[in-house]
Amino acid sequence: MAEEECELSDEQKKEIAKWFLYNAPSGEIQYIAKDLRSVLNDDKLYDEATSEAFPLYNKSHLICLELPCRSGDVLITPYNELEENQFIEPRTAQIVTIDHVKQACTEVRPAADEELASPYVEEFRCALDAEILKYVEEAYPKGVCSVYCVDGKDAEGSGCNFEFAVVIAAARNSPKNFCNGSWRSVWNIKFKEDALEIKGKLQVDAHYFEEGNVQLDAEQECQDGTIFQLHLAKCLTSPKILLQAPDDCAISIANIIRHHEAEYLKSLETSYSNLSDKTFKDLRRKLPVTRTLFPWHNTLQFSLTRDIQKELGIGK
């Protein structure tokens, strides 16, 4: 007796739909959402799934949206999120409201003073933003970046601790050519009294789907610690520690980021060059059905055409 088929509950259907949406390759979530609407055939379930999955996808993929009237761009990240649908764009001091499912900006307003970093922190943030922008323009065609203060934004002078998040994103989507891909990197920069701590996470994904389905999903974590050049200002009471100038800090940080990202890209290129020699061999069974090892050192001895001709008795 055949087992009875189990009907999925609405909650299970929604969770499955969310999984497909959240795991969509770069630039393809809208295509998957369109297909899921047809599969679910339930507008309520579809709306619930998309309203929960799209915000997570948009922030994890660091998508970039164009502001109204082409007045600039805003990155959608966990680091500049103020409320559920509001994100700060510090370069222009604006607060942007977005529609996550439509992936579009719906409203823009000037940021209030309390939503911005203090003048002291902002001086460091602007200097770093300018250096990162120059680096991204050189390294990533169509790349976008921003620097956010994620901790200590009210710091008012030397000796205070604060933290920045440097976000870099570059996407190249070409569905007509059956390929999409993106680069995403996030660097957390902690400013302390006598040290600069840097932690980064680099992610690369690519999807090729012409007559097939091949995906790359790679990531790397980096950490760097650099001691600030300290200046001692002698006072009547006690020495006072002053941080390195904002411009000098920005150049040092940008160079560290440039170094680590260049090294990671170099390692990826090396891995790709070894694909044919290592990776594809590992995908093959160690022993084929003949129970003999495949002679990788001398593949020229095999000819599919020759074997077919021999078997069929043609070509003589």
Whether the Cβ atoms of residue 131 and residue 253 lie closer than 8 Å to each other: yes
| Structure confidence at residue 97 (pLDDT) | 96
> Which residues on adjacent β-strands are paired with residue 180?
173, 207
Distance CA 115, CA 111 (A): 6
> pTM of the entire structure?
0.80
| Structure confidence at residue 236 (pLDDT) | 31
| Structure confidence at residue 1 (pLDDT) | 42
The residues of the chain scoring below 50 in pLDDT are 1-3, 227-242, 308, 311, 316
| Structure confidence at residue 237 (pLDDT) | 33
Whether the Cβ atoms of residue 161 and residue 192 lie closer than 8 Å to each other: yes
> Which residues on adjacent β-strands are paired with residue 188?
165, 199
| Structure confidence at residue 193 (pLDDT) | 74
Whether the Cβ atoms of residue 153 and residue 164 lie closer than 8 Å to each other: no
Domains, the chain, in order of start with CATH, read 9-60 (3.30.1140.60), 62-115 (3.30.1140.60), 117-274 (3.90.1150.210)
